[in-house]
Amino acid sequence: MVPVLWALLVLACLAVYSVASHLRWHRTGLPLHGVPAFFLGAVVCVILGTGIWLAVGVFRNGLGWIISRDVLRGTTGSMAVVLSLTVLFYSVESWRGKRAWNQVTSQLIRHGESMDPKTFLPPAVSPQQDFAQAPIFSPLTRSTPGMKIDKARMIQADSEPLKLILYWFENALMRQSGIGFAPWLQAQTTDLEPWLGLCQKALDAPHASAQKDRRDIAAEILRILSPLDNLMDELRVYSDRPYCRLPFNYDLPMFSDDPSERILLAFLRVLRLRATAELALHRNDRAFQDLQLALRLAEYLRQQPSLFFHDPRAWAFADGLQPLWEAIQEHRWNARQLEAIQRQLLTFKPLADYPDRLRFIAFANALFVETIIPTRPVETGHPDFGPEGQSEIRWLRRFYPKGWSLQDQAAIYQQWLKSRVPPPPESPFPSHSAGDSLFVRQLLRGSSDPFFPIFLVPRIVQMQSDLNEFMPFMQAVTDLAALACAMERFRLVHSAYPETLDLLVPAFLDQLPTDCMSNAPMQYRYVDRQSCVLYSVGLDRQDNGGQASPRQQNWQGELQPEFDLSKNDWVWSLHTSNSPPQ
């Protein structure tokens, strides 16, 4: 009778533990799912029970009993039970994985969606329409599989120009440079002195005597950048082409090193600096041409697949608008030039790519799971790991339940299906902070894999958060800049800024762009004939009266290059600022 009571007590404890674990998992997603918790608890009970039985038997019968036939039968039986539980566990998780995969596959078919890697390949274009056919990109085009980047982020190929521009890009993003992105967001002009120091360091230029006058600094910057002039001229020749097909490895998008993206970002940063220096020297036409080329590069960047470059893209683009803000502040450009820039901006639609980017994130993360723990037979290890890594992958594949791999992939696709539909026209773009907790909970509940929340969910959430922050930011600043061009054209005609934005339609704009964060017109405050403030409500979707977002700070309280986009508004001020450059 006593053994039966003990067995019932153990089963009751196992049931309570399994149910409690599952409830905690359902609430938070972090503890064990009920199924693996039950099997783990059962194995632990068998092993502990066997250990207690052996200890009691030795205590009662002495050490000689340990080699008795009863012990052999008991331990063999326990091992058989543990083995049976293990086999049953793998079978159950395999069944659950296949069921989850079949369910999500049927949903994909029902919604007309496909995760076939071939669907991600952009349509082929003729060489005459491809910006990537510019000779400077030929090393990338002909040697994509062997392209590697060392610790200095320099291409290992016979191309000194690309090495030079990549080295520039790495230095141009150094936090120690003292250069902040997009100072126009706080109505500040460019401080050229840190840029001069950066140029001297990055391009190995000799340090000239201390420059005090802004025009002298601008002239020295342009002199140092002059070795890049031929590269810019070559890009300009090819910039009328509508497409850009730089190489990208779609077979392993989570591991593809993408030097082409950094190259375009580097060129964009150089053009921003050149245009700013040219404006300081009153070379207005050359600054206009460089800004036009920078906007073309931003469009080419938009066409490139990306998983990790959303924030550098957004900041490079926003900072690239600095010469436009300064030119409008100083009334440098005529109506024809402003109209041309406005036309470019109105065709730039970064937020239109949002559904495709979500789909690519889901595909890449699911492919990452399949690459590490394949659900189909594979003959080779992972191509990006060395001998030690290959050995670890092989051992991991032997013991990792394939059902967990299927559940992880199904959870990723399932969550993508829930979030893939963009908000309806009457709703604003969703705030990233408001949706994170629900997004995480739904994602975590899709798989019983205990390592899924540790290794994959943070990566997916970060990618989703980047999309929800930087894509609407790029769209909002694009619309702000286009509106600013239209308002400056209005001022050229009427000698004053409009008292309301409606006065811009239809002479200067076909229709007013809406703020993607509020689905309402951009906020506008008319100050006087020569001053006004235009702004988006930003990620918090609160009208803060045109108070600009602050710069981020590190743990020491030092200002960082980026702004904290989650606070206050994204502001474009149109008035003459007498504040010193920052």
As a whole number of angstroms, the distance between CA 182 and CA 296 comes to: 18
428, 517 contact by CB (below 8 A): yes
Lookup: tokens for 280: 């300081």
Q: Please compute the mean of the pLDDT values over residues 332-356 and round it to a whole number.
A: 94
Domain ranges of the chain: 2-110, 127-356+467-574, 357-465
- pLDDT higher than threshold 60 for residue 576: no
Q: What is the pLDDT of residues 242-254, one digit of tens each?
A: 999 888 877 777 7
Binned at pLDDT 50, 70 and 90, residue 537 comes out as very high
Q: What is the pLDDT of residues 30-52, one digit of tens each?
A: 678 888 888 888 888 888 888 88
Q: What is the pLDDT of residues 368-398, one digit of tens each?
A: 898 888 887 765 555 555 566 667 777 888 8
**Range 102-111, long-range pairs (CB < 8 A, 24+ positions):** 103/410, 104/410, 104/413, 104/414, 104/417, 107/414, 107/417, 108/413, 108/417, 111/417
Range from 83-92, 106-115, 453-462 that averages highest in pLDDT: 83-92
Binned at pLDDT 50, 70 and 90, residue 402 comes out as very high
Q: What is the pLDDT of residues 463-474, one digit of tens each?
A: 888 888 999 999
Residue-level pLDDT at 220: 92
Q: Is the pTM of this model over 0.85?
A: yes
Residue-level pLDDT at 111: 86
Length, in residues, of the chain: 582
Task: Kindly report the average pLDDT of the chain as a whole number.
Answer: 84
Higher pLDDT, 71 or 103: 103
Binned at pLDDT 50, 70 and 90, residue 27 comes out as confident
Residue-level pLDDT at 498: 95
- pLDDT higher than threshold 90 for residue 140: no
Q: What is the pLDDT of residues 275-295, one digit of tens each?
A: 999 999 999 999 999 999 999
- pLDDT higher than threshold 80 for residue 449: yes
Higher pLDDT, 306 or 188: 188
Residue-level pLDDT at 139: 75
Residue-level pLDDT at 426: 60
Cite the DSSP H helix spans in 177-309.
192-202, 214-225, 229-238, 259-280, 284-302
Cite the DSSP H helix spans in 135-243.
138-142, 160-172, 192-202, 214-225, 229-238
